Amino acid sequence: MPPTAFGGVFSGVFSVLPTPFDPTGEIDLAGLARVIDLFLSDGVNGFTALGVTSEVARLTEPERDRVLDAVLASVNGRVPVVAGTTADGLRTCIEYTRRAKSAGAAAVMISPPRMPKINSDAVAKHFSDVAAAVDLPIIVQDYPPISGYAMEPSLLARIARDVPAARTIKLEDPPTPFKTSRILAESAGVTIAIFGGLGGVFLLEELMAGAAGAMTGFAFPAILVKVVTLFRAGKIDEAADAFYAAVPLMRFEFQEGIGMAIRKEALRRRGAIAHAGIRAPGGTLDETTRRALDRVLAWTGQA
């Protein structure tokens, strides 16, 4: 498949921002601003705040607002900002989405709500109800570990057809390249933008399947930007070379349980944050993992 020249607001590389904390566990807004500037210098096309990588589940309600306001102030309109507004209750999800719109977010990212007997009709209605309540683009996050529900390609295509505001998908249900192809095939006649996630580990294959880019918290987004840029320019072999050279780092960083700690340690080493700690009950790095990180950073030229 030839490269697709996606344009518009939602394409390219969107970095999901971490929430830095100081040694006491308080939010480090200065560190957050440095991460934003670092990622902008890496060439990202946008940001996502209050995502899983942002440790949103460990933020209080007032902290959610503080983080989003701080992100929007630091970005200052230079690129679009997406706000995570997932909630189990419809009213809460709508309220979060209203807050995001009022703050100035360009879009919101929403996963299906957890519910005892979730089904495709309930999921579709959730997105339809949010879209009816708040006029703002919705990025549908397909990440079963968070929602407890895997959305079939036919359901994602149905949502895109029935809810025009929800025609962007963050796809994190592997195999993502295969699922990307199926979604696009089942949504013929409707333009859908699909972002890969999962640390970028399938980015090249997702682009080959028709994805619009990547939306992930990978600590070295310049690598993702390079892959996407080369691919869109038709330099697929060069894009592949850049991608395959970085896969060991992506794989290492995206380890379940300690991935966020690794990302923050990488950002500390990049000079963006002063403290790499995450809030309890998150995992921390042991000496073996630190030595392995030293090796993979050196091997990939990121040390």
Q: CB under 8 Å, gap of 24 or more: what pairs does 232-235 form?
A: 232/3, 232/4, 232/5, 232/6, 233/3, 234/2, 234/3
Q: 1 pLDDT exceeds 60?
A: no
pLDDT score, position 8: 61
| Two structure tokens written together for 155 | 């359901």
Task: Tell the CATH topology of 12-244.
Answer: TIM Barrel (3.20.20)
Question: For the chain, how are helix, strand and coil distributed in percent, rounded to 5?
Answer: 50, 10, 40
- Residue 189, pLDDT score: 85
How many CB atoms neighbour CB 281 within 10 A? 6
pLDDT band at 5 (very low <50, low <70, confident <90, very high): low
The model's confidence at residue 116, banded by pLDDT at 50, 70 and 90, is confident
Is the pLDDT score of 86 beyond 90? Answer: yes
Which of 169-183, 236-250, 272-286 shows the lowest mean pLDDT across its residues? 272-286
Are the beta carbons of 73 and 43 closer than 8 angstroms? no
Residues 8-46: pLDDT tens digits?
679 999 999 999 999 999 999 999 999 999 999 999 999
Q: Is 210 helix (H, G, I), strand (E, B) or coil?
A: coil
Residue 47 has pLDDT above 70, yes or no: yes
Query: Which one has a higher pLDDT value, 149 or 202?
Result: 202
Beta strands in 111-235 (DSSP E): 138-142, 168-171, 193-196, 213-216
pLDDT tens for 54-72 read 999 999 999 999 999 999 9
Query: Are the beta carbons of 47 and 79 closer than 8 angstroms?
Result: yes
Model pLDDT, residue 281: 87
257 CB neighbour count, 10 Å cutoff:
8
Residues 219-251 pLDDT 10s: 999 999 999 999 999 999 999 999 999 999 999
Average pLDDT of the segment spanning 88-101: 97
pLDDT of amino acid 6: 57
What value does the mean pLDDT take over residues 112-138?
92
Is the pLDDT at 2 greater than 50? The verdict is no
Q: Where are the chain's structural domains?
A: 12-244
The dihedrals phi and psi of 15, each to the nearest 5 degrees, come to: -90, 130
pLDDT at 164 over 80: yes
Radius of gyration of the chain (CA): 18
Kindly indicate the confidence band of residue 284, based on its pLDDT and cuts at 50, 70 and 90: confident
Range in 78-87, 141-150, 178-187, 247-256 with the lowest mean pLDDT: 141-150
Q: Residue 160 and residue 187: Cα distance in Å, rounded?
A: 8
Q: Does residue 96 contact residue 136 with C-beta atoms inside 8 Å? A: no
Q: Is the pLDDT of residue 96 over 70?
A: yes
Q: Which amino acid is at 274?
A: A
